[in-house]
Amino acid sequence: MPELLPIPFRRTIPIDLYKQLTNFIESNHLSAFSHISSQDIARTHQARQRLAKLDISFVGLQNLILYHEMVLKLAYIIEGNNTGIEFTWIETLSFKAKTVVSTSFKFEEQNVLYNIGCMYSLLGVENFSKADPKCIAQSCKLFQQAATCFNRVLAELGEHEDRNTLESILSLMKAQAQEMFWLKAVRDGKLGNRTVARLAKQTSVYYLTAGESSKKSPVMTSQWGAFLEGKKLYFEAVSLYRLSLT
């Protein structure tokens, strides 16, 4: 079984979003909020409260997606207004946690989207550990969905985000999705050696790209680099071996 690497959740500090957002709306008399009920705000608050203790599950994923949709809506309505609501997020990729605080709902939205990507990656690894004949294809899809999320965060690069870190994570998700393609081909035994070699080579290229970006990242540790380098070398060797059989 290949070793797979998930991306850990960023952590957040709970806040009373219901109280703070309600106070902001009442004190500013914003007509844009006329179609948002107190129940909507309460549901948004409850969804955020659950972010403080995320379970690796599809239920947890749906809560993240629900809250992300709510925050996107609020970010659009509030754009240009400073609510004074402080969102705190903590980076967990390094041994030394980095804490960032912002009053921007766009900042909040990007961190939630990042955690959706993390959830897909964690589910991809967890799913692969199960004795299910469909697990390879399912994990592949989950890693692809993770890559989509991280690509969106990268495309809208916020001032608090690091490009090299995101590029490394994105390439890692592509590599692990590609690895699932390769593994399925090997286990099925229906493809020729040249095709399997190409799959392995592309997997190696993705791991190479992830490794190069990780070296420039201010938060990714040497353990990440060693993992990515080992994977790159392994799939290079697999590719050469398969080509030698043609």
Enter the tokens of residue 87. 């969102």
Element (H, E) at 91: strand 87-91
Burial class (CB in 10 A: 0-12, 13-18, 19+), 198: middle
Confidence at residue 217, expressed as pLDDT on a 0 to 100 scale: 94
pLDDT truncated to tens, each residue of the chain (246 aa)?
Answer: 458 999 999 999 999 999 998 888 888 766 666 667 788 889 999 999 999 889 999 999 999 999 999 999 888 887 777 888 999 999 999 887 789 999 999 999 999 999 999 999 999 999 986 556 688 999 999 999 999 999 999 999 988 999 999 999 999 999 999 999 999 999 889 999 999 999 999 999 999 999 999 999 999 988 999 999 999 999 999 999 999 998
Confidence at residue 1, expressed as pLDDT on a 0 to 100 scale: 40
Let me know: does 88 contact 48? Beta carbons within 8 Å.
Answer: no
Element (H, E) at 87: strand 87-91
Confidence at residue 155, expressed as pLDDT on a 0 to 100 scale: 96
Confidence at residue 230, expressed as pLDDT on a 0 to 100 scale: 96
First to last CA, the chain: 25
Dist CA 110 CA 160 (whole Å): 10
What is the DSSP annotation of 113-169? HHHHHHHHHHHHHHHHTS--TTHHHHHHHHHHHHHHHHHHHHHT--TT--HHHHHHH
List the one residue out of 239, 238, 74, 210 whose CA is nearest residue 146: 210
Tell me the pTM. 0.94
